[in-house]
Amino acid sequence: MNNIGVAVIGTGFWGKNHSRIYKELGNTELVAICDVNAERAKAIAEQYGVEAYTDSSLMLKNPEIQAVSVCTWSIKLAEETLKCLHAGKHVLVEKPMATDTGQAQTLLDTAEANGLHLTVGFLMRFIPGLQQIKQAVETRKIGELVSATAKRVTQWPERIGDVGIVKDTAIHDIDVARFISNEEPVSVYAKMGNMHHKQFEDYAQIMLTYESGKTAFIESNWLTPYKIRSLNVTGSEAIMRLDYNSQELWIDNAVKTVQPRNAFKEPLKAELEHFIECITEKKTPMVTGEDGYKALEIAMAAMESSAKNAVVKLK
């Protein structure tokens, strides 16, 4: 089978990593790099021996390109993804995928109309420990799911500039809550604000509630002196704790604590491998465009809740 020709739009922090991994994979051929910054596009393209572009419309005319990673600034994600879909390319778009749900729905409709894969960069789903948590919830290994608590805090990341903490960071945990619960929340209540950033929120606390009685609590900020990425899932018979940074997992019940051993796996590499596999084998992605839409919808509701200081009901 021939390798899948791929390209990357955007050569910031994530775009560089997408480019690196596509070059490493055995079933992809990195064809081109695109960035509005010509100097940066040229530097990355020369590093990997591919062609550099500053105009994505021109790059997308290349018939060797079958799939594209869109890693631009958040406000440009939907625009660039739509170009790719109209050009007949499969797309992995980084979160939050669009500025609003109207843009996201257009992407979903266009991908479906053209028979193309559209997946969103929720790479947490590819961490083995999180997959074990999901399986434990589904099989009731920890009893009935009661709640999930996510903490994702760090110092201010200089790469962020066009969205706040909710769409950039908390949206990961919104997706995780949907992923492990296999249920849509019915309401959201949130408090957020900005201590250091003048335009966007840099801290948020979000509570999701479910019709079944489950809850999810999400804390995100760009204020703390060191990085914490953790998930605690409480069941009626056990608690599971995951450290996203180390990928260590603990399971606590009434009599013991066990720590399953999982080989460390780079989530982004697993995500891109899966993306390409879905194209070649015509499989449904683990993260669909609909998942991206739903997470964005909840993130926007959280922002509305904070602005109104009220619970927001979800459709």
Q: Write down the pLDDT at residue 156.
A: 77
Above 90 in pLDDT, residue 119? yes
Return mean pLDDT, the chain: 96
Flag whether pLDDT at 101 surpasses 90.
Answer: yes
Mean of the pLDDT values across residues 81-91?
98
3-state secondary structure of 169: helix
pLDDT tens column, 264-275? 999 999 999 999
pLDDT confidence band for 162 (50 / 70 / 90): confident
Write down the pLDDT at residue 158.
62
Q: pLDDT band at residue 62, thresholds of 50, 70 and 90?
A: very high
For residue 26, the 8-state DSSP code is T
| pLDDT score, position 245 | 96
Kindly state the tokens that stand for 56: 């994505």
Q: What percent of the chain has pLDDT over 70?
A: 98
Query: In sequence order, what are the residues at sequence separation of 6 or more whose Cβ sits closer than 8 angstroms to the Cβ of residue 151?
Result: 219, 228, 229, 230, 231
CA angle in degrees (0–180, nearest 5) for 280-283-289: 110
Put the strands of the sheet holding 28-34 in their side by side order: 51-53, 28-34, 4-9, 67-70, 90-93, 118-120
Cis peptide preceding 225, ω within 30 of 0: no
Q: Could you read off the pLDDT of 214-250 as tens digits, one per residue?
A: 999 999 999 999 999 999 999 999 999 999 999 999 9
Q: What is the mean pLDDT of residues 21-31?
A: 97
Whether 84 contacts 91, CB under 8 Å: yes
How much is the pLDDT for 199? 86
* pLDDT above 80 (res 159): no
Q: Which residue has the higher pLDDT, 277 or 157?
A: 277
Rg of the chain taking only CA atoms, in angstroms: 20
